[in-house]
Copies of this chain bind each other. A is one copy, B any other.
Amino acid sequence: MASFREQKIARKKREILRSAAAVLAEKGYHGTTMEEIAAQLLMTKGSMYYYFKNKDDILYHCHQMIMELSLEKIEEVAGSNLNPDDKLQSAIKAHILLSIEEKSMFMIMDKPSQKFTEDQLKEVLDAQKKYAHFFDQILNEGVEKQVFEILDIKMVRMIILGALNSIQHWYNHDGPQTGEEIAYAYAANLLKMVVKPSLQK
């Protein structure tokens, strides 16, 4: 079990990662200084190094944090016993809602840093493959159950994930549309791409 102190450190680390993600998303990796990350938390940059090895380590842990969250969600949806179309709809919605809720974290995810260690890079790429695989699984299931008609699963997955992963770039929390609305519209449109015409609702 985690001691009180360990919990406290873990909380502080999460605070730092959130603060960092916010700045990183807005200003980019090299536009973001350790000082800025620290300042948001009323700390000095020096103490960042008490919690993280260096700046890249912070970025890596941001990736890790959001990857874990994403995988949890998709795993749950993929493992549910929904019909293929409802399952795909759920997966799309879950992805969008998370990407909006955690907009900053998602925005820094587009490309793994060139400075990650080999292990870190592998972790990130593996998680992405894993995530993609869950989508493929859902699409495959739909084809097997004759609900979907798909020529090339991988291509369709690329289209879907590509569309989903651009939302955080334009979504604005103060804008007119709610995340729910966007999620609903995206799901409805993307499903048209795969659901057999004869089965379209």
Interface residues of A (CB under 8 A from B): 27-31, 110-111, 114-115, 151-152, 155-156, 158-167, 169-170, 182, 185-186, 188-190, 192-193, 197, 200
Contacts and interface: CB of A to CB of B under 8 A. Distances in A.
Contact of A30 (B30, B111, B158, B169): B30
Secondary structure class of chain A's binding surface, majority of residues = helix
Contacts of A160: 163
A140 B200 CA distance: 23
A111 B155 contact: no
B155 A189 contact: yes
Contacts of A114: 27-28, 31
Nearest to A31: B114
Nearest to A162: B166
A163 B190 CA distance: 11
A192 B30 CA distance: 41
In order of increasing CB-CB distance, the 6 nearest A-B pairs are A30-B30, A162-B166, A162-B163, A159-B163, A163-B163, A197-B197
Contact of A165 (B151, B152, B162, B167): B162
A165 to B, nearest CB: 6
Most buried by B among A30, A158, A165, A182: A158
Contacts of A162: 162-167
Contacts of A31: 30, 114-115
Contacts of A186: 155, 159
B166 A166 contact: yes
Contacts of A30: 28-31
Contacts of A151: 185, 188-189
A185 to B, nearest CB: 5
